[in-house]
Amino acid sequence: MSERRWPTLSGPVVKDQYKVSPFLVFYLVHSVQVGVGVMGFQRISARAAGNDAWISVFVAGLSLHIIIFLIYKILNKEKGDIISLHKNLFGKWLGGLLSCIVICYFIAMSITVLRTYIEVIQVWIFPDLNKWLFGGVFLLLTYYCLSGGFRVVAGISFFGVVLPFYLVLTMLFPIFYGHFQDLLPVFNHSFKEIYEGAKGSSLSFLGFTTLFLYYPFIKEPEKSHSWAQGGHLLTTIMYTVIMIVTIAYFSTAQLEKTIWATLTTWKIAEMPFVQRFEYIGIASWALVILPNLCITVWAGGRGIRRLLNVSQRSVTLPLLFLILIVSSLFAKRENIDLLNEYTSKVGFYFVYIYVPLLFVLQYVKSKVVKAK
Amino acid sequence: MRRSFYLFLCILLLTGCVQQSILDDIQMITIIGYDLPDSEEEDDDLIKGIAVAPQYHADGKIENTVFVETAKLSKEIRSQYNAESPKPIVSGKLEIALFSRDIAETEGVMSLIDTLQRDPSIGSRVFLGISNGDTEELLRTNYGNVDTGTYFQDILKHNSKHGMLPEMNLHSFLYSHFSEGSDPFLPILDSDGDKGKIIGIGLLDDGKMVSELDAESLFTFKILHEKFSSNDSFSVKIDPDNYAAIYNIASKRKINYKSREENKIKITGNILGVIKEYSGHALTPEALKEIELTMEKDIEKRGAKMIQSFQELGIDPLSLGNAVRSKTRGEFDSEKWIEKYKQMDISFDMKVKITESGIIE
């Protein structure tokens, strides 16, 4: 990456050779959303919204289409990323501080993803797995992908969607044991309960805000809007279907006890060549987790690189070390649960409050500048 | 060069990190049974666990090794098995778990099911059952050159798929147990010489067995419980020396809740069947009609009696509560429902249609 310093007030300039096609945004958005959240988001939603939790998930998904629309409105106007936007709106210091928070959020996301995945492996497959060793090797792989630059990250996210997509078919097994009358009566919960359920499902939708950083890397970025909406739509449909199957498969009190509902439904899968499908499913999940880590770590590194004007390569390695150390510090289930809860809470407010706020501020500022 | 270095590093680091489980070096339990310990003077909390692990020999012989231990927690029992086993014991291949009648009637099965549900290596398709007599004897019996766990699993599997036994595995059991309007049941197994046998089902309430149905009632119960098709036949006695055997093709149940506000539910069963055996002379349309009517009456009578006893016990193995819940707006109170259920007027109406009478007239 070039070391030239860009003028501070305009957006960053990315050379054409580093840019990716607009359709890859479909995979970038979808793959960063589908991560550790989908393994167990059902319980959190169902706790509040019961058998209407699928409505919560669907509503949460639909509302985020509007947020993606706002993100594109902001970025199309800015022609840059969130770092330049912050600088333009809030000035060097306050803008820089806000950028720091956003960067920390992305890094926290990557820590959450890595630690939760390691926890799943420890609980489900290898109780004596060394989290340092596995985390180290996995981050080494992430480093390898990141050292190829953003184009490789986009490629990885393409494979992270296409290769494990067959896992969708495993949702057929629980359907045979489904009690679909459990979905009735529909709309039996108050709006508040459905809202709480939607809030609970938000972690599984998060991550697409990385758009704020890779936007300048898209060729003809305006054209990628529909691809981003498409990627998110796929996530929404997928989650709603998973939620419907889960409600039909489990009884309410049983679901509340089940930490990883999606993984537990795999226990019913029976195939002639494999007794326990979870082993294959969780192993395949590494392909889903890898783009997740790559995109969030890349976004964090990119943010730091833009903020401090250093080369991204020199940032990545210390960043990965930090992620390894912090993620390994979380040892107990409750702590990991807390980490998940806080990340999703921060993400929830970032998406639903901060993004609309940015949109309004940018609009007001452009009016003011014009008036002058 | 650098890439191959990373690759080398990965290969070096990723091997041997975790404990291996090579198939030849482990003992796989296929069936586990729980019973109360024999001696009375010991601590009451103790549980006797009997596990059977098959050994497959090169000449095709299968040898069942039986482990018996007594401890407080079922996982503690497992570590005791390990002490007497030459190879580490794993539970990933568990096919069936049995509880003795004593446990089911006194302590209940939930504390033992907890470990099955908590252990990620145990599948949701594990069958559960109640052993009628001494569990240890049931599991020690040699049922021929088969692995005992697979043997019992096969009995339960084909009987619930094609026979009169409603399907009940670990997942469906937990579903019913935790569900607001449903109570689970478990098949009761016993040994008959060198064979295993299903002798009925035990009905559970809150994890404890409160009542049971014999094997003859299973057909009626299954009609009331679910939609199914089976290969078993049902015999109808038309008069003292005239009977017919009806091979059931398909059965559907329908529940009518229209008047649930007046505390009335109507269950309708619909059977399509084929005559397999008839002791009379000629199978005239009149005779067919009579067979249909007799069968309808017979099943209705048994069904009504069954439903009445469920209501008296306050158990709901037919998941009527779930069905009513799905039609009720607002909060569903399962306590109130059970009270209501006990007073409910549940009628049972049966329709039998004989479609064929075999290849002779």
Tell me which residue of A291, A209, A218, A297 sits closest to A27, measured CA to CA: A291
Element (H, E) at B285: helix B285-313
| Alpha-carbon gap, residue B65 to B77, rounded angstroms | 16
| Shortest Cα distance, chain B CAs vs residue A104, angstroms | 29
Quick count: other Cβ atoms within 10 Å of Cβ B211?
16
Dihedrals φ, ψ of A99, to 5°? -60, -40
Of the candidates A298, A306, A349, A345, the residue with the CA atom closest to the CA atom of residue A323: A298
Number of inter-chain CB pairs under 8 A, A vs B: 82
Chain B residues whose CB is inside 8 A of the A128 CB are 18-19
Mean pLDDT, range A170-191, rounded to an integer: 86
CA gap B46, B71 in Å, rounded = 5
Which of A139, A159, A316 lies closest to B10, judged by CA? A139
Confidence of residue B129 (pLDDT cuts 50, 70, 90): very high
Does the CB of A179 have a partner CB in chain B at under 8 Å?
yes
Please judge whether B178 and A126 are an interchain contact, meaning their C-beta atoms are less than 8 angstroms apart. Answer: no
| Interface touch B180/A188, C-beta < 8 Å | no
Could you say which of B18, B172, B180 has the minimum Cβ distance to residue A129?
B18
Calpha distance A98→A127 (Å, rounded): 40
Helix (H) or strand (E) run with residue A50 in it: none
**What is the C-alpha to C-alpha distance for residues B199 and B186, in angstroms, rounded to an integer?**
11
Return d(Cα B51, Cα B116) in angstroms, integer.
14
How far apart are the CA of A279 and the nearest CA of chain B, in angstroms?
10
Of A124, A133, A254, the CB nearest to B17: A133
Q: What percent of chain B lies above the pLDDT cut of 70? A: 94
Confidence (pLDDT) at A29: 93
User: CA gyration radius for chain B?
Assistant: 25
Q: Indicate whether B222 pLDDT > 70.
A: yes
- Token readout for A261 is 């509902």
- B-interface mutation test, from A179, A246, A280, A324, most B Cβ less than 10 A away: A179
Structure-block tokens of residue A4: 């030239």
Mark yes or no for CB contact A251/B18 under 8 Å.
no
Q: With bands split at pLDDT 50, 70 and 90, how would you rate the model's confidence at B323? A: confident
Residues contacting B45, CB < 8 A, separation 6+ = B72
Of the ranges A71-80, B15-24, B236-245, B281-290, which one carries the lowest mean pLDDT score? B15-24
The residue type of A282 is I
Q: Which pLDDT does position B16 carry in this prediction? A: 56
User: CA distances (Å), A24 to each of A71, A230, B348, in order?
Assistant: 17, 11, 60
Query: Whole-prediction pTM value?
Result: 0.88
Distance from CA of A152 to the nearest CA of B (A): 15
Say if residue B166 is preceded by a cis peptide, omega within 30 of 0: no
Phi then psi dihedrals of residue B201, to 5 deg? -130, 145
Strand B185-192, strand B233-239: pairing: unpaired
